[in-house]
Amino acid sequence: MPNQLVERFESADLTFGVIGLGYVGLPLAVEAARSGIRVLGFDVKERVVAGVRDGRSHIQDLTDEEIAREVEAGRLDATTDMTRLGECDAVSICVPTPLSKTRDPDISFIFSATEAVAKALKPGQLVVLESTTYPGTTREIVLPELEKRGLRVGEDFFLCFSPERVDPGNRVWQSRNTPKVLGGITPNCAQVGLALYSRFFEALVPVSSTEVAELTKILENTFRAVNIGLANEVALIADRLGVDVWEVIDAAATKPFGFMKFTPGPGLGGHCIPVDPHYLSWKMRTLNYKTRFIDVASEINSHMPEFVVGKVGQALNRAGKAVNGSRVLVLGVAYKSDVDDVRESPALDIIRLLEAAGAEVEYHDPFVPRLEEDGRTWVGVPLTDEVLDAVDVAVIVTNHSAVDHTRVFERASIVVDSRNATRGLVPPAGGQREGWIVKGPVR
């Protein structure tokens, strides 16, 4: 069967099911459809399914036209009916893997999706888990559920793990041209998985097991989290030394070997970097091992919103004002520039801390006109001269390219810049540039 399936998956007409039509699943579904494969998307949200079927995109990285083109060609459809998984020759699971309130892995979405696949599992079917998770999930959680029907992995059905590598807002590296790591439960599983994915990914990176593929994804994001944590700690050190941390990092980056540039900021955000290292920490705790680098980096990164708010208080204090009662404008609530994603955004913590200190907080974000969090709703304000003139301090949290930071610098009386967006701008007479406070009264 494996050899026959490889030939079929490489060239024949197929139906490819994608469970979860979010930031990961929908681009995957569209890419597969572009290659000529019939794609059936599954999601529990009626709104998402209806939007796809009507040719509308709900994520920033895909346009309505890209969705509509595949729908109209009959290559892309969507449904909430999980019983239709039986129509699929292959199924990819792209569901969320958040953290619980205790910062432990929440794989309930993976388990629910696996149960749905298991009910419809048929001989010859390929199942690929793409959701980021701790090493061992595919073998220890997904495999036993699929084997309950009596089918044998590597012979009757095939199971792989292939981590998503989505970078929202990246116009260069997208689904097709980003190398795709894939590991199978057995060599036959990997062979079948590679045969399918070779049809819509330019480069494949086969690895020896699902555990290797799972740990590869965790390493990628842990690497970033730890190095950002180091950059943030250097920022704290530089602040105490009275040194410009960005100047230090730029100087270090001129070394052509042995240094990779990471920059400090207000904290971590997004669906991967703040979350994935905790999956590995949790797994290693079950093996009586402490992930010291990860834990320290997490502690530093999680305290950066407090550092930013401290700088706001410091700047206002120099102007003879208290945070309590001051009007603060937060510029950018998305977790990174030029995206509309607010998941785990440090801006949310900064807003909470400022409000807890009595500040009157407003925000502007061209990508997030409306913000709903913790049962509350904020509506962004326009970035007018009147708003900039009226606020006591403007805090640059996300450096969107659509925001005129020069105008912010010129109009706001005090600016706290956590992203170095105003570098090179010289404060007027009576102002100063000192670390993260780039414009304000002289000490």
Length of the chain: 443
The answer to whether the CB of 233 falls within 8 A of the CB of 240 is no
Q: Which two tokens stand for residue 250?
A: 């730029």
CA 200 vs CA 24, 27, 91, 128: distances in Å: 15, 11, 15, 15
CA distance 100 to 68: 36
292: pLDDT strictly greater than 60: yes
User: What pLDDT band is residue 443 in, cutting at 50, 70 and 90?
Assistant: very low
Q: Is 150 exposed, middle or buried (0-12, 13-18, 19+ CB in 10 A)?
A: exposed
3-state secondary structure of 405: helix
Homologous superfamily (CATH) for 303-439: NAD(P)-binding Rossmann-like Domain (3.40.50.720)
Given this model, what pLDDT does residue 429 score? 60
Is-contact 249 259, C-beta < 8 A? no
Sign of CA dihedral 184, 185, 186, 189: negative
Q: 212-256: per-residue pLDDT in tens?
A: 999 999 999 999 999 999 999 999 999 999 999 999 999 999 999
- Say whether pLDDT at 96 is over 50: yes
- CATH 1.10.1040.10 in the chain, residue ranges: 218-301
Residues of each domain in the chain carrying CATH 3.40.50.720:
2-208, 303-439
Q: The tokens of 128 are what? A: 């690929």
Give CA–CA dist 319/362, Å, rounded: 20
CA-based angle 133:303:287, to the nearest 5?
Answer: 35
Q: How far apart are CA 372 and CA 362, in angstroms?
A: 14
Burial (CB < 10 A; 0-12, 13-18, 19+), residue 386, is exposed
Q: Is 76 helix (H, G, I), strand (E, B) or coil?
A: strand
Name the nearest CA neighbour of 90 among 120, 142, 128: 128
pLDDT tens, 191-222? 999 999 999 999 999 999 999 999 999 999 99
Mean pLDDT across the stretch 82-101?
92
Nearest CA to 368 out of 334, 402, 405, 401 is that of: 334
Q: Is 390 exposed, middle or buried (0-12, 13-18, 19+ CB in 10 A)?
A: middle
- 181 three-class SS: strand
Residue 94 designated active-site: no
- pTM of this prediction exceeds 0.85: yes
In 3-state terms the chain splits into helix, strand, coil percentages (rounded to 5) of 40, 15, 45
pLDDT tens-digit readout, 165-181? 988 888 888 888 999 99
Please count the other Cβ atoms lying within 10 Å of the Cβ belonging to residue 285. 12
Tokens (6 digits) for 24: 């990961």
Q: Considering only CA atoms, which of 34, 350, 309 is closest in space to residue 16?
A: 34
The C-alpha atoms of residue 221 and residue 277 are separated, in whole angstroms, by: 7
Residues 398-403, mean pLDDT to the nearest whole number: 94
pLDDT score recorded for residue 270: 77
CATH 1.10.1040.10 assigned to 218-301: yes
CA 430, distance to chain mean position in Å, is 41
- Whole-number pLDDT of residue 366: 96
C-alpha 95, offset from chain centre: 13
Fold of the CATH domain 2-208: Rossmann fold (3.40.50)
Residue of 88, 94, 160, 272 marked active site: 272
